[in-house]
Amino acid sequence: MNDLLFELPLPDYFDLNACLAYMNRSPLECLFRPDNEGVNRLFMPEGKPLLVRLTTAAEQPPRLQVTLLSGAVPGAEATAGLVRYIVEWFDLDRDLAPFYGIAGRDPLLQPLAVSERGLRIIGIPDLFEALCWAILGQQVNLAFAYRLKHRLTAEFGTSLEYEGHTYYHFPAPEVFLEVTQEELCSLQLTRNKARTVLEVAALIAGGGLSREELLALPSPEEAEARLLKLRGIGPWTSQYVRMRCLRDTTAYPTGDVGLQNAVKFLTGMDRKPTPAELLELAVPWKGWEAYATFYLWRALY
């Protein structure tokens, strides 16, 4: 098929290769399939499977090309939704010049700003998916979190076979209204994680929580306070959701083990830094703590 659906203009300081390197960090990722030239992802606009491929145009000016691999050509409304999702997925409407100005003067960030130049925070625009990914990642290593996500998605999500590969779409919260804790525990979720996933699913499906509601609050701190009211959602999870879903560049998960290990490794410390030390370290990064964190993670893999 390979029909070009649309093209998106690309901002300065965007490099798809840098983004693909991050997206290729684990072969266990099940919601998109990156390679050295682009990434394939299954979408479900209006409930219909749509497999697309994202690449960059060879000629100038730089553009992100979105090509249809499988499914019917979407209508105007579905296409507009797909455009919004991709812009937020790759944070394409963000001017990174201020961040690179800060990073260029910072001894910890400067080497990463060179080696990872053009990397954007790879977002998770869907609130339920973002919360589930953060919940699954609580107090486990990254590989096991990926396995849990794959089991959850394969069991309750949508899939499409294309050229020998299975593509998955994360399940909607409504799917979990009839799911029991025991069913989730059979996938190796703990009882606490299973309960939290089901409670979050019911809240979002019932209209009691939405990304739009969180973004409409006066400040990111108030959005975080709203999330912290949910049982099973702590500071790390709420900061992670602020960073990956709400596109808050001030999010700074000081309790994140990966961030702690990256700073320990890069500074040569003989122990992990404390949250207070991380806050002090981030003073020069004010306003860009999330991007600093995202780049520091790249020192680990």
Question: Collapsing DSSP states into helix, strand and coil, what is residue 262?
Answer: helix
- Residue 167's CB: how many other CB atoms inside 10 A? 22
Q: Is 124 exposed, middle or buried (0-12, 13-18, 19+ CB in 10 A)?
A: buried
Q: Which of 95, 126, 256, 270 is catalytic?
A: 256
Whether 256 is a known active-site residue: answer: yes
Task: Give the count of alpha carbons within 13 A of 160, CB side only.
Answer: 22
Those residues with Cβ within 8 angstroms of residue 222's Cβ, 6 or more apart along the chain or in another chain: none
Question: Collapsing DSSP states into helix, strand and coil, what is residue 261?
Answer: helix
Q: Is 128 exposed, middle or buried (0-12, 13-18, 19+ CB in 10 A)?
A: buried
Terminal C-alpha separation, the chain:
35
Judge contact between 237 and 138, C-beta under 8 A: yes
Identify which of 183, 239, 233, 179 has the alpha carbon closest to the alpha carbon of residue 209: 233
Residue 9, strand partner residues? 63
Judge contact between 143 and 134, C-beta under 8 A: no
Judge contact between 52 and 68, C-beta under 8 A: yes
Helix (H) or strand (E) holding 226: helix 220-228
As annotated, the active-site residues are 256
